[in-house]
Structure 1
Amino acid sequence: MTAEPPRTQRDKVPFLMLLPNMVTLGGMCIGLTSIRFAMDERFGTAMLLLLLAAIFDGVDGLLARSLSATSKIGAELDSLSDFLCFGVAPAILVYQMYLSGIGSLGWVFVLVFASATCLRLARFNVHNTSQEEDAKPMTYFIGVPAPGGALLVLFPAFLDYAEILSFGDLPYVVAIWSVIVALLMVSGVQTLSPKALRVPRALIWPMMFTVVIAIGLLFTRPWLVLVIVDTVYSASLIRSLYLAARRHRG
């Protein structure tokens, strides 16, 4: 019969096991701070903070899997943080920038987007649970994921700040766009997942240089880079919708 370790050792948790949840909480705090800047009408800073929150959201999952520190409480914490950072924060930002001028109707569109994010995350949690039972990880997302929805709903703001198009006098266009993004989030369309991406060996070095150029542009023309990212992602969604329609007809 083996002796149990001393109680003081059993009550201690390795720091690395806590790191993913700490990153998640950090991302949540960044999302909350974005709301503060949006309310102060410092919209550029608010958008950049949401992008930083998206980076934190990606990093915490990678850390949890790399350190074998996944847990149910971590998954729930991540989902709640995602709702705040990618549902509530971008909705308030869009309302403050474009929809406050149309009053209560503008707030209705905000509620639609935030509710769609909540429903999207709830469905994602259910799918994650079923994947654990079936041990068959999916290589695609069902509907647009919450961070992708946040980036898409901010597309008009990116175009504004890149000085390509101005939507200040077009609140209803922004409102309709937010509803389209909300519908894409709760749809059953299979959308692009990084897990499914495969890079041909011949394109590895060109891709590396592209990343270097993109990082350089982020420091000089960040809004233009974000417009390009949203445009490419929108093109992938159009392709997904086309394939879904073809499957439906077939």
Structure 2
Amino acid sequence: MREIPLRAIIPNGITVLALCMGLSSVRFALDAKWETALTFIVIAGVLDGFDGRIARLLNGQTRFGAELDSLSDVIAFGVAPAFVVYLWALQDVPRYGWIFALAYAACCALRLARFNASIDVDEQPHKSAGFLTGVPSPTGAGLLMLPIFLTLVTDQPIFREFYVVAPWTALIAFLMVSDIATFSWSSIRLRRGMRFGAIVGIAAMIVLLVNIPWVTFSLLAIAYIGSIPISIASYAKVRRRRAAASEPAALDE
């Protein structure tokens, strides 16, 4: 086994911490401490967003780190959220509820396996156009939690009913493994005149997350779901533009 360079220890440590946060959410869900369980999943998502950036900053990218990151994501955003949702609502119909929980966790693993298998593939139409293929696993975990967010916000029991949570779980599982184009926020480039407004917007978002977290997360999840038809239409426009640009080249040949 090759030694792991010292500069890779920090990002790998953050990855392991994200894994632990995901598993900790299950521990609190077992005690029906739903807000704490959700908080740990959110922390796992934040840590997942930092480990790769820190690895690139320290020039500490390793194959070991990439594999560890995928394993962490499967547990923190696949297995742990599936357990939380099962304990929260799906266990009311144990036999069928467990099937939906398993389907979500399996789709998360399949998505990450597909991502790893395509890392070295040259032809990736979605990525080259600034889009992702399907819903990323951390985002999928956040979307899966939407019925819990809405219950905490509205105190309405309907969002905890099996006939609401089970189809929602199946939908998010499908979106993770689907081939639909979704927006990649890291590829967005703001014009110079919009940067200050974006900073103000981020600051406002942080204030809202601190003061009304579940309302804010609910709105973000709903907004993301609403953006999917827009991303599909945007990618279709990119495909048409590429096809139109390639036709003259083909005629010249």
Question: Shorter-chain TM-score: which interval?
Answer: 0.7 to 0.9
Q: Which residue matches 1:86?
A: 77
Task: Name which of 149, 153, 163 aligns with 2:144.
Answer: 153
Give runs of ≥4 in structure 1 deviating > 3 Å.
11-15, 164-169, 241-248
Task: Name which of 101, 105, 109 aligns with 1:118.
Answer: 109
- 1:183 correspondence with 2:174: yes
Cα deviation for residue 15 of structure 1 reads 3.7
Contact between 1:156 and 1:174, CA under 8 Å: does it hold in 2? yes
**Structure 2: which 5+ residue stretches go unaligned?**
244-253
Q: Which moved more, 1:114-123 or 1:12-21?
A: 12-21
Distance 2:236 2:107 in 1: 22
Cα deviation for residue 85 of structure 1 reads 0.4
- 1:54 correspondence with 2:45: yes
Distance 2:201 2:168 in 1: 30
Distance 1:207 1:244 in 2: 24
Cα deviation for residue 98 of structure 1 reads 1.1
In structure 2, relative to structure 1, the CA distance for the partners of 1:166 and 1:210 (3 Å cut) is farther
In structure 2, relative to structure 1, the CA distance for the partners of 1:192 and 1:244 (3 Å cut) is closer
Q: Which residue matches 1:197?
A: 188
**Structure 1: which 5+ residue stretches go unaligned?**
1-10
Q: Could you list the per-position Cα deviations for residues 95-141 of structure 1 after superposition, in whole angstroms to 9, with x for gaps in the alignment? A: 1111111111000000111110010000010111325x99x964321
Contact between 1:159 and 1:166, CA under 8 Å: does it hold in 2? no
May I ask how many residue pairs the two structures share in their alignment?
237
- 1:167 correspondence with 2:158: yes
Contact between 1:143 and 1:186, CA under 8 Å: does it hold in 2? yes
- 1:229 correspondence with 2:220: yes
Q: Could you list the per-position Cα deviations for residues 141-188 of structure 1 after superposition, in whole angstroms to 9, with x for gaps in the alignment? A: 111110011011111111111227543552111100111111111111
In structure 2, relative to structure 1, the CA distance for the partners of 1:189 and 1:210 (3 Å cut) is same
Cα deviation for residue 198 of structure 1 reads 1.6
Contact between 1:27 and 1:57, CA under 8 Å: does it hold in 2? yes
Cα deviation for residue 14 of structure 1 reads 5.7
Distance 1:58 1:244 in 2: 25
Q: Which residue matches 2:199?
A: 208
SS, match of residue 141 in structure 1: strand
Distance 1:145 1:25 in 2: 19
Cα deviation for residue 245 of structure 1 reads 7.5
Distance 1:169 1:12 in 2: 48
Identity %: 37
Alignment of 1:130-141 (within 5 A): 130=121, 138=128, 139-141=130-132
Distance 1:91 1:211 in 2: 30
Cα deviation for residue 240 of structure 1 reads 2.8
Q: Which residue matches 2:67?
A: 76
Q: Which residue matches 2:21?
A: 30
Q: Which residue matches 1:3?
A: none
Contact between 2:150 and 2:159, CA under 8 Å: does it hold in 1? no
Distance 1:169 1:195 in 2: 34
The code of the aligned residue for 1:44 comes to E
Distance 1:169 1:20 in 2: 37
Cα deviation for residue 236 of structure 1 reads 1.4
Contact between 1:156 and 1:167, CA under 8 Å: does it hold in 2? no
TM-score, length of structure 1 as denominator length: 0.87
- 1:142 correspondence with 2:128: no
The code of the aligned residue for 2:147 comes to P
